[in-house]
Amino acid sequence: MHWAPIATSSGSEPAISSPRSAAHSPINASPPRTAVVAEAGGASQLAALAAAFIVLALALWGGALLAHVPQAALAGVLLFVAQRIFRLGDMARIAREAPLEFVLVALTAIAIVLLPIQAGVAIGIGLSLLHGVWMTTHTHPLELHRIPGTTVWWPAGASPHEETQEDVAVIGFQAPLLFANAETFKTGMIAAIDARRPQPQLVVLEASGIADIDFTAAQALIDVINHCKAAKIRFAIARLESVRAQSALERFGILAELGSGHLLHSVDEAVRALSSKG
């Protein structure tokens, strides 16, 4: 393995790179810098400022000195830092508690070791984005029930004692409404509504988990509202706390489809205001 020499530009420090990328891919070394300062006993911002001053002085006037530092010495610094920031216990815990995330960590580490650093980091970012998309697309609507003696509505099965109201269906969705999950949202909502027997007179979408709504998802939400209208079921949205999502309701015409008085602050308020037994 080839060890890249220390960079002399501001903000760049020693880096380990593969043979293919050593000549042209300097890496910012904040972890090495932090680790060295910590090992030297630095415990305040003054220590960090002193370290930054030393780095600046070396970059401006120490080039000739650094040219004679053996590459093996630079490699030793980086290996020392690497073994200090590698947390085997944390890796074991991730593998035990979140196997999928451990696979992402392992694949990213392997890519960074085997490929040029830019490619390895890009692969890691891409895997993280795919993981986020997977989580979003695998969110499904879920029915909520009231916890007895409270105004709290909670996922069904979470409490041994749950209150239901025959003419009301409260359904939550705990992810942003995006094109990636719009169809899942629509089909899940319609299936949950149609599965209720007897048919509910009011459907409340508990929207505290909906941080945003894009154009495609807005059309899916309008389809759900129209499905309820066709079945003569009142539809309301409660606890839509996100300012971006509220703006989307107006921008995409959802408020007009929803009707006045059908966007409320809480599920309990919606049930009291719009339920036939409220």
Q: Is 262 in the same domain as 172?
A: yes
Provide the β-strand partners of residue 133: none
Domain range for residue 49? 1-86
User: How far apart are alpha carbons 14 and 80 in whole angstroms?
Assistant: 12
Find the CATH number of the domain harbouring 155: 3.30.750.24
Considering 59, 86, 113, which residue would you say is the last residue of a domain?
Answer: 86
- Same structural domain for residues 134 and 157? no
With a cut of 80, say whether residue 18 has pLDDT above it. no
Number of H helices, E strands in the chain: 12, 8
- Say whether both 154 and 258 belong to one domain: yes
- Length reported for the chain: 278
pLDDT of residue 151 exceeding 50, the answer is yes
Does one domain contain both 47 and 78? yes
For residue 159, name the pLDDT band (cuts at 50, 70, 90): low
Question: Which among 107-116, 151-160, 176-185 has the top mean pLDDT?
Answer: 176-185
Closest CA relative to residue 172, chosen from 243, 266, 275, 272: 266
| Contact status, residue 236 vs residue 202, Cβ threshold 8 Å | yes
Residue 100 and residue 72 share a domain? no
Q: What is the pLDDT of residue 5?
A: 39
- At residue 140 the predicted structure's pLDDT band, cuts being 50, 70 and 90, is very high
Buried b (16+ CB within 10 A) or exposed e, 135-152: eebebbbbbbbbeeeeee
Range scoring the smallest mean pLDDT among 43-47, 199-203, 253-257: 43-47
Which position has the token pair 């015409």? 253
55 and 119 belong to one structural domain: no
Please tell me whether residues 151 and 233 are part of one structural domain. Answer: yes
How many domains in the chain?
3
Inter-residue contact 144 to 172 (CB < 8 Å): yes
Please indicate, yes or no, whether residues 214 and 201 belong to a single structural domain of this protein: yes
Residue 110 has pLDDT above 80, yes or no: yes
Residues 249, 254, 258: CA angle, nearest 5 degrees: 120
> Are 153 and 254 within one domain?
yes
**Same domain for 117 and 50:** no
DSSP code, position 265: S
Per-residue pLDDT tens over the stretch 20-48:
333 333 344 455 566 666 667 777 778 77
Residue 13, C-beta contacts closer than 8 angstroms, at least 6 positions apart: 6, 7, 28, 29, 32, 33, 55
pLDDT of amino acid 81: 72
